[in-house]
Structure 1
């Protein structure tokens, strides 16, 4: 006689809001098993009864072939006392303790839902909020967890009978889809002009009207599923410039939304990694070189001075239905005034953007967590993926951290490109990119996000981690937060946190071999009170030690130096460069700054400012209108390179420092000899790449980890990989941006492995 048994299966990971329970239901039915499946605060719990062999076959298939957008971190199967079930059921979620599972990011619209919207015979024809278990907003609409409809802002839209039928029908793609809505019961769109007048349009003509508005040279603010986008015709030079003027964004490149992949392929040369990035479930903006560009975009207005373009494809139903009506690409940039956070509320959008946008396409779904579009770039030679901005599609999960602590830890990151990291349970959560905390609205969102994390997980932090800079807003807020929760407070040096972020990403803390940390960026408060940014560290178990740096030069005029590359040139210049400076400063300014140099006490080792000095010396950029502009423009001059043709501008000195002024002076000699900008910039990057391996040889290490904003330069990354990949183990940030977004994660890694080990 065959004996029936009962097993409990526990699955953790990204398993809520991804169609996991309906998938389990269908699979259990296929295997003729009975039982239940439900969400709880730790993931998915399955009770299943049947023959042991059948149950294990079911379990194997479930683990090996889970739903497409799920990620299984851990699974366990244990026999329990036999239970009789008359069928297999999906049970309502029950929360018996605190949340302990990954959150679910937003997913790009799937092909099946696109087909539903395109099919005149389908009841979701032209419905812009069409989703299923495999796609749609998740984090953007999450109020609390477990991920159930009544825990999201979609709960404001009760399902109609037809949607309820889909929701309860096991063979339907929307079986237990928590975001299920349709034209009858769902979210409503409305189009208004900037005076508030509502324009009439049927649900089948609305997007044609929006396309016509764009075609006529207007700017429209579109409320997408993760916040507002400001859009205009990317081929219309006049309207692109108008958007720049109104948004107060003079030169920073705009992202461009193409109607389709086929359209994009006709205008830009794409490789396989580009296509993979553009069509992934994250659907980020992907930066593409526009070699042999064949389109009609107003390039010099969309991406001034650049030879690359940030492009994306439609990732929501709203953008897809608009794309269906477009015969041209559109600018699709964050709905804000430059420097402010992305807007998600209708009234605030109208208040802040009515002088920018001519029209508003709005809807009545609350966006709980507004997010900018993520940005990715791939290096030319090695196709190394570099995240420039980690936001929609990626946040708030992080799966690669090795953490074992009974303390609840919150890290408040840096000041520019801020983010928050929280370890309240068995998982680490890293917020979306938040922005520059100098902006009051960004700071307000930063504090609200911090408090929401604490409320969501119902865990007060025992440990608060902040940057060592004494006046960062994140640091000052962290001090208040630690006092409020009676938590331990630790101040962690900026560049050590950068280094720890790479060590943490690649689980290098477990190695006993030393690792060289190459941490180059624009600014960070150093342990000696100077401004660091050109640092070399060595990691050995439980210790990060600074072993070298670029020679100090004068830090002039405070924050103004990071905004004026010509000041970096002045700081690093010698008497032979005075003629260059006279073209950039008045006699009075030169007198003042030269006096400052003589009496200045504050020094810097910043490689970011060295990039600025080179850009100014080559007359490429004297004033940064956006962060990193000079460095971006420098890289833009390099179309290709051959390492055999490169030369060094300097080597490491006997005292183990890098001669910053000598490097710039030797570069200046090539400028005087009339060499091309491409030749000089290529040699500059080659010098930086070579110095890394000189330092590795000095320090006798074979593992090298690089982080900091300088490593957004993909040409530099390619050179490093080409020079050292066969002899060294090289590590870069991959799941996090190399810029200051990774500081919050690095703070947690440094605390766990260097302060609390």
Structure 2
């Protein structure tokens, strides 16, 4: 005899906004169960009546058939104490409770929706907001949990009769799809000229406004397009005039542009694409993927008709050997690309360094002098979400910017981090993100940019308030960077004082190491590891600026074991933007001015330096006036780049000099795979601290310049020498301190040559190496490290 039971089942994880309740309802009916399912703050709540074996089989099947965008973390079962009167299984109204669930990120248009927008027989034909439970906007449109239509910006659009039928049809993939919409009842998109005058499709003899955009791009116009998470600026990527016009108007001199192509076949004409890279391109996250550029050769291909594939403008990514490609990820993009077989530039809709525009009126105000035309729509963007940027290094994913498609997907904390308070970590100044710790998970915000700009800081505060409200986060501890002038740190202090919350000040490079450890799931009570942290700069414990560190670390503490020889950073922050300052400081430290002039006075870099106010610069160094000491490897890269003629006077975007010297080295290495020539670095002990000294490297480098050795050879020898000294010192420290695991972190480890070769060198010695994959190695991952350290210190203090 079968025993009938009534159970209360709770499902935790990413289970809202992904078609989870429809899946529950469908499976429950298959197994002959009665009851209901709803969303609440904790996830999905199921009340079910049926025999015990049927309920067990139903739950097993639920794990197996979790919707593509969903993720089940755990399921709990308990007897239901109330009375359940029902003769069917239904989806019932959501209710609010304490928020414990997670949200899915925005996802790329699924293949079925793509088919529908191009089928004249579908009611979604050419509808730019077509979506279903498997795709479309999620995080960018939500105001609050539970995830239901009224909690999103789709609440402004009432479903028509046909949409209601699909929404209620359990056999339809739009069953309970909260953002369901069509031509009749949903958001509308339209085209306008920058002067505000409307444009009609018949002016271009086109099907509709989206088809007209195609014609405008082909004519060399710049179009601002409102997407899922913000506006983009688009133009023909093969048109030099259009790209140059965009650079001038956007005030973006050399920073690379992202490029969108209609499919991977087009991308493969311009770049080498591995299977892993192709999987990233076509994934539901649809990030920008950095790919190795090919030496382009025009070809003819057949796609309905004979077409010539044109070379990309040389202005797309000056000084680089990689290109950032992305595929269409919204129906609007697919419609625009219906007739475009050339790639287009698709870059953030902003003036450089300012936040991406998300509002129609804001875009008109800020982009009317950049764009010739606008594509607007009337669905509000609640959460600004820029495109994510990833690449594959040594067959492993490396995330450089974590945003649309990935956030706010939670990161499970390592073993040992249970029963911790809610923690808020404020992040750094550049490439900012913040992080919430709650219920054994970390929720990392999307990329928020550089907070040194007032508009970016305003966006940071708005986004932080949205997260705190959305996830009902009430921090008991706030973690901030130790740098006293970081705006995020000041904001954290202000919040801590106002709300009487405990605050933890976290050393910058310790946070980088902790983020790497957390991502790699290193347990709380693990033995110390050796963290190698190379970046632009971070506030050190001794008042200097660190950035080339070898540190023995756990989550709770660290010891600085070795570093690069500190060099004055002349002019403070000016040295970040003017690499010649770093070159001068490194060169006089290594050889002295008189020797430089005597032996190398005819070199171009010496002529540049002679034109500078050297008396004032020397006085600033001597009196320590706005010339803090720094061990930064990032500044070393700037100095070497400037010396050989890359960005000597100034850079136009963060990291430009380092990126361009890496590209030079990569080009030489790829064509001379067996050549291992390298410059020499030495180590010595100063003030009981082991230092890497670059003096011999500079002597050899200047000799090579004088002998007119090609820049690519010099760049490669610099990289090779750096790899050798890092491997040698790391191996020595691992033996001295009985360490078996090494972590690579910091923005400099975005350099693929350094990452691959140092990793291979240490692994060949039997040393276990961990690095970043899902979390950026740059300051975009800093907040995770801050949060995990604060949690570890709380556990230790109990």
Q: Same fold (TM over 0.5)?
A: yes
**Which residue does 2:693 correspond to in 1?**
659
Are positions 1:556 and 2:570 aligned together? yes
**Which residue does 1:738 correspond to in 2?**
777
TM-score (norm 2): 0.91
**Which residue does 1:523 correspond to in 2?**
537
Q: CA deviation at 1:513?
A: 3.0
Are positions 1:344 and 2:358 aligned together? yes
**Which residue does 1:76 correspond to in 2?**
76
Task: Give SS of 1:395's match.
Answer: coil
- Say whether the 8 Å CA contact 2:270–2:296 is kept in structure 1: yes
- Point out the more displaced range, 324-333 or 227-236: 324-333
Mapping 1:431-446, distance limit 5 Å: 431-446=445-460
| Alignment partners' CA distance in 2, 1:384 and 1:674 | 37
| Alignment partners' CA distance in 2, 1:427 and 1:697 | 34
Are positions 1:595 and 2:619 aligned together? yes
- Point out the more displaced range, 546-555 or 569-578: 569-578
Are positions 1:716 and 2:717 aligned together? no
**Which residue does 2:432 correspond to in 1?**
418
Q: CA deviation at 1:194?
A: 1.0
**Which residue does 1:173 correspond to in 2?**
173
Question: Deviations along 1:472-497, whole A, 9 cap, x unmatched?
Answer: 11111111111121111222111111
- Point out the more displaced range, 234-243 or 84-93: 84-93
Mapping 1:257-656, distance limit 5 Å: 257-294=260-297, 295-379=309-393, 382-402=394-414, 403-510=417-524, 512-540=526-554, 542-573=556-587, 574-575=591-592, 576-578=595-597, 579=601, 580=603, 581-600=605-624, 602-622=628-648, 623-637=650-664, 638-639=666-667, 640=670, 642=673, 645-653=676-684, 656=690
**Which residue does 1:130 correspond to in 2?**
130
Q: CA deviation at 1:540?
A: 4.2
**Which residue does 2:247 correspond to in 1?**
244
Q: CA deviation at 1:268?
A: 2.5
- Say whether the 8 Å CA contact 2:420–2:791 is kept in structure 1: no
- Say whether the 8 Å CA contact 1:424–1:457 is kept in structure 2: no
Per the alignment, do residues 408 and 400 of structure 1 end up closer, same or farther by CA in structure 2, a change over 3 Å counting?
closer
| Alignment partners' CA distance in 1, 2:135 and 2:612 | 61
- Say whether the 8 Å CA contact 1:15–1:71 is kept in structure 2: yes
Are positions 1:694 and 2:706 aligned together? no
Task: Give SS of 1:433's match.
Answer: coil
| Alignment partners' CA distance in 1, 2:791 and 2:677 | 42
**Which residue does 1:101 correspond to in 2?**
101
Q: CA deviation at 1:554?
A: 0.9
Q: CA deviation at 1:646?
A: 4.0
- Say whether the 8 Å CA contact 1:390–1:737 is kept in structure 2: yes
Are positions 1:753 and 2:754 aligned together? no
Q: CA deviation at 1:84?
A: 5.1
**Which residue does 1:706 correspond to in 2?**
744
- Point out the more displaced range, 638-647 or 549-558: 638-647
Question: Deviations along 1:330-377, whole A, 9 cap, x unmatched?
Answer: 100000000000000000100001011111110000000011111112
Per the alignment, do residues 668 and 187 of structure 1 end up closer, same or farther by CA in structure 2, a change over 3 Å counting?
same
| Alignment partners' CA distance in 1, 2:29 and 2:106 | 29
Task: Give SS of 2:345's match.
Answer: strand
Q: CA deviation at 1:755?
A: 5.8
Task: Give SS of 1:348's match.
Answer: helix
| Alignment partners' CA distance in 2, 1:405 and 1:263 | 51
Question: Deviations along 1:119-160, whole A, 9 cap, x unmatched?
Answer: 100000000000000100111001000111110001100100
- Say whether the 8 Å CA contact 1:6–1:80 is kept in structure 2: yes
**Which residue does 1:38 correspond to in 2?**
38
Q: CA deviation at 1:512?
A: 3.1
| Alignment partners' CA distance in 2, 1:369 and 1:388 | 20
Mapping 1:61-210, distance limit 5 Å: 61-80=61-80, 83=84, 85-95=86-96, 97-201=97-201, 204-210=207-213
| Alignment partners' CA distance in 2, 1:568 and 1:492 | 27
- Say whether the 8 Å CA contact 2:731–2:762 is kept in structure 1: no
Mapping 1:223-242, distance limit 5 Å: 223-242=226-245
Per the alignment, do residues 36 and 629 of structure 1 end up closer, same or farther by CA in structure 2, a change over 3 Å counting?
same
Question: Deviations along 1:637-666, whole A, 9 cap, x unmatched?
Answer: 113264772435214335521113343334
- Say whether the 8 Å CA contact 1:649–1:683 is kept in structure 2: no
Q: Could you list the runs of 4 or more consecutive aligned residues of structure 1 that deviate by over 6 angstroms after TM superposition?
A: none
| Alignment partners' CA distance in 2, 1:587 and 1:341 | 37
Question: Deviations along 1:601-655, whole A, 9 cap, x unmatched?
Answer: 6210000000001111211221211000011101111132647724352143355
Q: CA deviation at 1:221?
A: 0.4
Per the alignment, do residues 44 and 664 of structure 1 end up closer, same or farther by CA in structure 2, a change over 3 Å counting?
farther
- Point out the more displaced range, 19-28 or 721-730: 721-730
| Alignment partners' CA distance in 2, 1:577 and 1:706 | 35
Question: Deviations along 1:459-481, whole A, 9 cap, x unmatched?
Answer: 43222211111111111111111
| Alignment partners' CA distance in 1, 2:438 and 2:554 | 28
Are positions 1:679 and 2:705 aligned together? no
Q: CA deviation at 1:199?
A: 0.8
Structure 1: stretches of 5+ with no match in the other structure: none
| Alignment partners' CA distance in 2, 1:670 and 1:146 | 64
Task: Give SS of 1:491's match.
Answer: strand
| Alignment partners' CA distance in 2, 1:214 and 1:67 | 37
| Alignment partners' CA distance in 1, 2:500 and 2:528 | 36
Question: Deviations along 1:477-524, whole A, 9 cap, x unmatched?
Answer: 111111121111222111111111111111224353321001100111
| Alignment partners' CA distance in 2, 1:497 and 1:330 | 38
| Alignment partners' CA distance in 2, 1:181 and 1:306 | 42
Question: Deviations along 1:681-721, whole A, 9 cap, x unmatched?
Answer: 22322333333332333222221101111011112111123
- Point out the more displaced range, 614-623 or 639-648: 639-648
Q: CA deviation at 1:754?
A: 4.1
- Say whether the 8 Å CA contact 1:194–1:357 is kept in structure 2: yes
- Say whether the 8 Å CA contact 2:124–2:130 is kept in structure 1: yes
Q: CA deviation at 1:328?
A: 1.6
| Alignment partners' CA distance in 1, 2:323 and 2:252 | 16
| Alignment partners' CA distance in 2, 1:300 and 1:201 | 32
Task: Give SS of 2:201's match.
Answer: coil
Structure 2: stretches of 5+ with no match in the other structure: 298-308
- Point out the more displaced range, 650-659 or 14-23: 650-659
| Alignment partners' CA distance in 1, 2:6 and 2:220 | 65
- Say whether the 8 Å CA contact 1:236–1:297 is kept in structure 2: no
Supply the RMSD in Å over aligned alpha carbons: 1.9
